[in-house]
Structure 1
């Protein structure tokens, strides 16, 4: 797989745009992050460790912070979203709020560094 942008470019418009927004917020919050792949999904990495990954499935979009502690830390701010130990599911019509995405990246970055 190529860069995160290449992986997202292959998706249909609404899914691509929603996941690109996640990546854009992550890149703004962690400018040293580099493109990569983790667990088979497009991901941004810092110091070789996965920072945040994204995927699209037939029924939802997902953000993977690669940390159950990070998901738990923001779970109270995710009413109306499907949240599990390691992922947050959303749709293009119901995106994760920008400030929550930035907090996810900040918390995960703190774990890595």
Structure 2
């Protein structure tokens, strides 16, 4: 799969993921692959100092490794809050704008798809 970027040197997501240690690299790469499948026109970019996927100049999603979890940032507090109760039932904490995925917990692919679809709807996609 070819990843579109604004220029050949502009690969903030790919470069970020490549430098991560396993198993985080694989998990984050898999999440980005799912996001790209839903938004094939998304490009790699940096929004709010985080590498992520961008649509029409707006942040779509950023997925980052932190000390204690993988942070999923859909650049939308309302999207996170819309799924907060369902995520909590799965033992996945949220903040105002982030989903905190611990290493021992899997995010169901259908739920991730619904979260990203909600973000796409906000972006008019």
Q: TM-score range by the shorter chain?
A: over 0.9
3-state SS of 1:83 partner: coil
Give how far 1:3 is off: 3.1
Q: Distance in 2 between matches of 1:42 and 1:32?
A: 16
**Could you say which structure has the greater relative contact order, defined with CA pairs below 8 angstroms and 6 or more residues apart?**
1
Aligned to 1:39: 48
Structure 2 residue runs without a partner (length 5+): 1-9
Alignment pair present for 1:98 and 2:109:
yes
Structure 1 residues 1-113: aligned runs within 5 Å: 2-78=11-87, 79=89, 80-113=91-124
Gaps of at least 5 residues in structure 1 are: none
Q: TM-score, normalised by structure 2?
A: 0.84
Any conservation in 2 of the 1:18–1:92 contact (CA below 8 Å)?
no
Q: 1:65, 1:50 → 2: CA distance?
A: 8
TM-score by length of 1: 0.92
Quick one: distance in 2 between partners of 1:65 and 1:74? Answer: 12
Q: Which runs of 4 or more aligned residues in structure 1 lie more than 3 Å from their structure 2 counterparts after TM superposition?
A: none
SS in 2 for 1:96: coil
What is the aligned residue count?
A: 113
* Structure number, greater radius of gyration: 2
**Whole-angstrom distance in 2 between the partners of 1:40 and 1:76:** 28
